Amino acid sequence: MTETATETVTVRVPAKVNVQLAVGAARPDGFHDLANVFLAVGLYDEVTVTAADELRVTCAGPDAGQVPLDRTNLAARAALALAGRHGIEAAVHLHIAKDIPVAGGMAGGSADGAGALLACDTLWGTGASRAELLDICAGLGSDVPFSLIGGAALGTGRGEKLTALEVGGTFHWVFAMADRGLSTPAVFREFDRLAEGRAIPAPVASQPLLDALAKGDPEALAAAVSNDLQPAALSLFPELADTLAAGRAAGALAALVSGSGPTTAFLAGDAGSAERVAGVLRASGTCRTVRTAAGPAAGATVI
Ligand code: C5P
């Protein structure tokens, strides 16, 4: 990144939906090998970094009360990680304008980590390479590297090893936010409990799904989406089945839990259908809020 004399930097970072989430057996380190096809969608957090006397995090937005403001916040951890590597004091105020649901399975926390990292790199003129930024992201969490690059990508390993994917069109989505969150570790633990005694195949990306993305074909994508964490999320949050059924009945081409949930994602054929599905879901009383967003969206970007 280039040298800068700016005193404030704002970075916009997208949410993600997993169009495929294939989960393998638990590894000795407790993580699971994944074949994780990420699609960035146009719902954004904005992270603003300003020089300050000491590290401080603030957050605004409808879910702000649920966001930790201490050093467990991924934005704070990102600033500390970059500062530590470059012998800089992480004396900054990080402000998160939060629009991505918290604990929703849309990588909101990861977005804030990637956003803070790029913002601090720009503010400090650190000049970190893309590879170094991605390496720091991988240390912060499995989904953080994808938040930096955006677009669409296949994540392998625990999700952090990324291969960018071609996308041949725009996909229109509806997202239904639930009235409580789900903990990602709890959903993986439930996956392990449900899988007990069964042989779990190694996760592989679906070729029909990759082809559908490359063609930009929503019907083909709808036929190929899958999420191995969905049974675990439904087991912990059975009411999500009502939201999925309401979206299907409203004409969504596909309905699935986003990542570890509890946000549910509905693929529509075009922007107009997405608005219609959103309207029916809003009236269904099966969720807290409903948003529409298109993907792919760009990764973390200085604005
Ligand atoms: O990497 P991250 O901190 O986002 O992961 C949160 C938790 O989700 C992990 O502690 C682990 O319980 C679970 N996880 C997993 N396998 C993955 C990614 C996450 O079991 N590939």
Identified catalytic residue from 63, 99, 112, 143: 143
CA distance linking residue 252 with residue 40, whole number of Å: 19
User: How far is residue 5's CA from residue 298's CA, in Å, rounded to a whole number?
Assistant: 25
Between the CA of residue 89 and those of 82, 85, 120, what are the distances in Å? 10, 10, 11
269 Cα–ligand 1 center, Å = 32
Residue 4 pLDDT grade (very low, low, confident, very high; cuts 50, 70, 90):
very low
Distances (CA, A) of 24 to 157, 224, 258: 10, 18, 18
Range 117-140 average pLDDT: 97
1: pLDDT strictly greater than 80: no
State how far Cα 156 lies from the chain centre: 15
Q: What is the pLDDT of residues 152-211, one digit of tens each?
A: 999 999 999 999 999 999 999 999 999 999 999 999 999 999 999 999 999 999 999 999
The pLDDT of 216-243, averaged and rounded, is 98
Going by CA atoms, what residue is nearest to atom 19 of ligand 1? 31
Distance between CA atoms of 217 and 270, rounded to whole angstroms?
11
What's the confidence (pLDDT) of residue 103?
A: 85
pLDDT digits (tens, 9 = 90+) for 238-292: 999 999 999 999 999 999 999 999 999 999 999 999 999 999 999 999 999 999 9
Q: Is the CB of 136 under 6 A from ligand 1?
A: no
Whether residue 159 has its Cβ less than 6 Å from ligand 1: yes
Substitution candidate for ligand 1 out of 16, 33, 140, 184 with most atoms within 8 A of CB: 184
Do residues 47 and 92 touch, judged by C-beta distance below 8 A?
no
Provide the pLDDT for residue 2: 44
- pLDDT of residue 229 exceeding 60: yes
* Token code pair at residue 77: 């951890």
Picking from 13, 200, 18, the residue whose alpha carbon sits closest to that of residue 106 is: 18
Known catalytic residue: 143? yes
pLDDT value at position 282?
A: 98
What are 68-121's pLDDT values in tens digits?
999 999 999 999 999 999 999 999 999 999 999 998 999 999 999 999 999 999
How far is residue 137's CA from residue 157's CA, in Å, rounded to a whole number? 14
Q: Give me the catalytic one of 16, 45, 112, 121.
A: 16
pLDDT grade for 3, boundaries at 50, 70 and 90: very low
* pLDDT computed for residue 263 by the predictor: 97
Give the Cα separation of 56 and 50 in Å (integer).
Answer: 10
Could you list the beta-strand ranges (E) of the chain.
8-26, 32-51, 56-60, 92-97, 152-156, 161-164, 171-177, 226-227, 254-257, 264-268, 289-295, 301-302
Q: Report d(CA 222, CA 289) in Å as an integer.
A: 23
- The single residue listed with the structure tokens 């004399």 is 5
33-60 pLDDT, tens digit per residue, is: 999 999 999 999 999 999 999 999 999 9
The token pair at 294 is 């298109």
Q: Tell me the CA–centroid distance for residue 291 and ligand 1, in Å.
A: 26
Give yes or no for residue 142 CB within 6 A of ligand 1: yes
The residue whose C-alpha atom lies closest to atom 8 belonging to ligand 1 is: 185
- 271 burial (CB, 10 Å; 0-12 / 13-18 / 19+) is exposed
pLDDT in tens, 259-274: 999 999 999 999 999 9
d(CA 25, CA 277): 35
The pLDDT value given to residue 13? 98
pLDDT value for 6:
59
Q: How many other C-beta atoms are found inside a 10 Å radius of the C-beta of residue 169?
A: 15
